[in-house]
Amino acid sequence: MAFARLKTKAFSTPEDYLIFEREAETRHEFIDGEIYQMAGEGLSHSRVCMSLAREVGNKLKGKSCEALSPKMKVRTSSASLFAYPDLTIVCGEPQFHDAKKDVLINPKVIFEVFSPSTETYDRTTKFQKYRMGNENPTDYILISQDKSFVEYFNKQAGNVWVYQSYSEVSDIFEIKTTDCELRLQEIYDRVEFEIQPDFEEFEKQ
């Protein structure tokens, strides 16, 4: 989703943000004292998110892990980021920022469905915040809404993150910490991709 920074008169604290957010009609994310408004989603983004939630939810039935919707906020340990992942997996007992139970602090797996406008942010700034500011996440998964493309980051011993990517609709990837396999074909169900120009063929002409 796209973001727009709100013009605030002063640096916002996490508690300022939560007071504001809990009364707001639209969703916002908090990054290093600044509040960003989240834009609405398009059809492809909505379809990917719905398919993803359905597939992950079905895979986790009967297990100790569960999937949480995009309405659940996630906070880093340093409280420098409060975000709304497109899907979150928590394992064991969920832990929260306060008694409101609307800010999760122990996410295990985080999914972000990105568009061209948020791709760089999700891959760099946001991933860095999740990675450096919270010891709990073990898997970070980026999913393109415009083409068949999934990027999977898995945390190994020594806080080393290993990268894998998948681009074929027939590909299957496993979320190692939850023993959950996902098919790209199911994630992209009903999503219609724009036909990309064949530059190699064009150059031959």
Q: What tens digit of pLDDT does each residue of 111-138 get? A: 999 988 888 888 888 999 988 867 899 9
From the CB of residue 43, how many other CB atoms can be counted at a distance below 10 Å?
A: 11
Residue found by looking up tokens 């906070």 in the block: 75
pLDDT at residue 9 in the model:
42
What integer is the mean pLDDT of 15-43? 91
Q: What share of the chain is helix, strand, coil (3-state, %, to 5)?
A: 25, 30, 45
N- to C-terminal Cα distance for the chain? 38
- Residue 33 backbone zone (phi > 0: left; psi -120 to 50: alpha; other: beta): left
Amino acid letter, 125? T
In 3-state terms, what secondary structure has residue 102? coil
Where do the DSSP E strands lie in 51-176? 65-68, 73-75, 81-83, 87-91, 103-104, 109-114, 139-144, 150-156, 160-166, 172-175
Mean pLDDT within 186-191: 96
Bigger pLDDT: 140 vs 11: 140
Residue 134's pLDDT is what?
74
User: What is the distance between the alpha carbons of residues 168 and 102, in angstroms, rounded to a whole number?
Assistant: 36
DSSP classification of residue 80? S
pTM score, whole prediction: 0.89
pLDDT at 6: 53
The amino acid at residue 74 is V
Task: For residues 121 and 24, give the distance between their C-alpha atoms in angstroms, rounded to a whole number.
Answer: 24
To the question of domain 42-194 being in CATH 3.90.1570.10, the answer is: yes
- The pLDDT mean for the chain works out to 89
Q: pLDDT band at residue 20, thresholds of 50, 70 and 90?
A: very high
- Read off the pLDDT band of 200 (50, 70, 90): low
* Residues contacting 131, CB < 8 A, separation 6+: 137, 140, 161
pLDDT tens per residue across span 95-117: 999 999 999 999 999 999 998 88
Q: Which residue has the higher pLDDT, 57 or 10?
A: 57
Measured distance CA(98)–CA(80) in Å, rounded: 16
* Element of type H or E holding 62: none
Q: What is the pLDDT of residue 1?
A: 52
